Every structure is written in C-alpha cells, then in structure tokens.
Amino acid sequence: MDALCPSPPGPTRPQRLYERIGGREGTSFCQTLIHLLKGNIGTGLLGLPLAVKNAGLVLGPISLLCMGVIAIHCMTVLVKCSHYLSIKVNRASLTYGEAMQYGMENVSWLRRHSQWGKVTVNVFLIITQLGFCCVYFVFLSDNIKQNIQYPIDLPKVGRLKDYPLFFGTAIFAFEGIGVVLPLENKMNRPQSFIPVLYLGMGIVTFLYVTLGTIGYLCFGDTIGGSITLNLPNCWTYQGVKLLYSFGIFITFALQFYVPAEILIPPVLARVSVRWERPVDMLLRTVLVLFTCALAILIPELDLVISLVGSVSSSFLALIFPPILQIITFHTEGLSPLVTIKNAAISLIGLIGFITGTYIAIEKIIERNGLKSTEAFSSFMVQ
C-alpha cells in the first residue's frame, strides 16, 4: 500500500481494491517495460544531439539528466494520483483527463468546472500526438531525400537564446507521460508498475544523455535536426535510414490513435449507423491530411520538434502532474515542501513553454523569410 500511495497523504480504503484486473489476463512486467520503452523512444531521441548543441557540451547532458529525473518524478506523481482517485470514485481505472477531472472535484471552488480539466488535458494530448504525426512527416521527407569527425573544441555552455530550443526538444523526447496510465491500467499486477516505470525511464534517460552527447561530439556544429541526416551516403547507412523511416511510418498510426479516439467517437455518436463508417474514414483522412499540410508549411524538423515540445509536452509532462497532486491531496495535509516543489516544477514548465514557443516561432519565421529571399533572388537571376 505504501509503495503505491504513501501515507500521508494516501487513500484510506484498502489497497487490495487496486487489484483492478483481477482474474483477467493483463500485461506482464516485461511486456509493460517494452511498451514503455517504445512509447518514449522515437524521433525525439534522434534530435537530442542538436539539443545538446543548443545547450552546450557540459550543460546539455546535465540538463538532460535533470529533465529526466523531473519527468520520471512527474510520471510517478500522475500514477499515484490516479491510484488514489480511482479508489475514491470506485473506478477500475482512469485516463489522464479523467484523473484531472476527478482531482478538480476535490476542490470545492473548482468542482463546477471539473469537466474542463478533462477537456484541457485531452486538447493538449491531441496537440501533442498530432504534433508527433507532423514530425513524422518531416522526418520521413528529410531522410528519404537526402562526414564523421570528433571535434574537441566545442562550447561547454551554449548561448542563452538557444537554450529554450534545447528545452523544447528535450521535453518532446521525454514526453511519454501520455502512455503511462494506459500501460499501468492494463497490467495484471498494477502494483508493480512503479518499478517498471523507474527501470524503463532509467534506460530511456541513459540512452538520451549518451546519444545526445556522443552525437554532438561526433558531428559538432554540422549536426542536423535528426542525427540520421548526418550519416554517410553509402548503401549501409542509407539502408539504416530507410529502415528507421519505415519504422516511423508504421508508428504513425500508433501516435494517431490517441487524437482519433478523442475526436472521432463524439462525431460518430451524432450520425446514423449507415453513415458511421464513411464519416469515420472521412475524419481520419482529414486529420492525416491536416498533419501533412502542417508538415509542408513548417518543413524544419528541429524547430517542429522544439515547438511541439514547448507548446504541449511542457504542459502534459511538467505543469499538469504537480498541479494534479496539489488538488488531489490538498485535503490530506500536503507538506509545504511538497507544495513548493510542485510549484517550482510547474514554473519550470511554464517558463519553458513561453520561451521555447517564442524562440521556435521566431526561428521558423526567420528561416522561412530567408528561404523566400533566396528563392526570389534565384528567380531574379534566372
């Protein structure tokens, strides 16, 4: 019981009620670990060498490690809040949005607006997942279109102006918090999820810090938005890029699943049975074309990753979980230290959101303006 929801604060009902799946077959420890790794390791991993460049050779890895610790802590907070609330409302399991909704119902002056908590989380989940889909389009186009050295004279600390770009890319890579509750809800022994979380995210953090640092050391200032763009143009490396692109291509549907499940069912509920399938296919097609159009409008892989991370991942991974813990356990006597810690994490996420979004949009406008000028100059010369 203490491992799941330490007391104080914690639920007063017996933790044995948290054996939610009971006799039904669920995922094992190893299966959940593999799913957790797959849910966190994607295109964000390949952009981390550029993120380390923006932060500096020393500050980058240290910041990645700190961000990993904070991200794991926020995931743990979300799971513990979900445990407490699911027992309190006598529900077998909760989604991220439902956890925020029931958490707000714990606060009297927020109770009337608790539905907005669920809506807000779902909106950011949609933005994040569709943002992933946009990144996938840009990643595929860059890698399908398309010198190794070990520079030692690299800046240990990057420019302050570029650090928000590091934040956006790093939090994009760590934004696996959307898969945490679905995975935990499907385990045959949900009590074992916290060890799975620590092990899985420990592996992820180690991979992120190592690849980010070694990738920057290897390619230096020439590092691209994805490290695959720096691989030599021989058939071996081209094969690697094509295989990775194929893996990203088939993963598109996995990322697309979350916004589709949030947006499409309410629409289908308003049409007759006869039109359900055509409308379903139409909506899915429109959403895919929408993400493709966004990718065409902003074909800058590094900036798209940083923008998506700053706009939505910062809320889901850093801002919402500490707030949820405060509103969930405020009647249980949260210590001032915990409240201060939660406020600090949310503040870090908010500052990252504001500065990262601003710098990413500024860079996107700057690059597009430069491209337009070059295209116009080329046209005039011809």
Does 1 fall in a domain? Answer: no
User: 């201060």: which residue's tokens?
Assistant: 340
Cβ neighbours around 368 below 10 Å, total: 15
Per the domain annotation, does 14 fall within a domain? no
The Cα 92–Cα 76 span in angstroms is: 19
Domain range for 256: 29-147+160-370
Number of domains in the chain: 1
Whether 212 is in a domain gets the answer yes
327-to-203, 289, 321 alpha-carbon distances in Å: 31, 39, 10
* Phi, psi of 27, rounded to the nearest 5 degrees: -80, 145
Q: Which of 2, 19, 21 is nearest to 11 (CA)?
A: 2
At residue 204, the pLDDT reads 93
List the pLDDT tens digit at each of the 382 positions of the chain. 333 334 344 444 434 344 554 445 678 889 899 888 887 887 788 889 989 999 999 999 999 999 999 999 999 999 999 999 998 888 888 889 999 999 999 888 888 999 999 999 999 999 988 888 888 888 887 777 654 457 567 888 888 989 999 999 999 888 778 888 888 888 888 888 999 999 999 999 999 999 999 999 888 888 888 888 888 878 888 888 888 888 888 878 877 888 888 899 999 999 988 899 999 999 999 999 999 998 888 878 788 888 888 988 899 999 999 999 999 998 888 889 999 999 999 999 999 999 999 999 998 888 877 776 766 666 666 6
Structure pTM? 0.81
Nearest partner of 70 among 302, 360, 358, 352, judged by Cα: 352
Query: How confident is the model at residue 12, as a pLDDT?
Result: 42
Distance, CA of 91 to chain centre: 26
8 domain residue, yes or no: no
- In this predicted structure, what is the pLDDT of residue 210? 93
Tell me whether residue 2 is in a domain. no
Phi and psi at 276, nearest 5°, equal -60, -50
How is residue 228 written in tokens? 């695959």
> Where do the H-state alpha helices sit in the chain?
29-40, 43-46, 48-55, 59-88, 96-104, 114-145, 163-174, 180-185, 193-219, 235-268, 273-297, 301-308, 314, 320-329, 336-381
| Rounded to 5°, angle at Cα 313 from 59 and 229 | 65
Q: Look up residue 308 and give its two tokens.
A: 């998506």
Contact (Cβ atoms closer than 8 angstroms) between residue 154 and residue 217? yes
Token pair for 252: 């598109």
d(CA 206, CA 31): 20
Position 377 in a domain: no
Q: What's the confidence (pLDDT) of residue 120?
A: 94
Write the DSSP symbol of residue 291: H
- Which residue has tokens 């590094």? 302
What pLDDT is recorded for position 16? 39
**Selection from 30, 9, 70, 51 nearest residue 225 by Cα:** 51
Q: How far is CA 100 from CA 64, 82, 94, 114, in A?
A: 27, 9, 9, 8
Q: Is residue 207 part of a domain?
A: yes
Residue 319 DSSP class: I
Six-digit token string for 196: 């799975």
Q: Is 352 within a domain?
A: yes
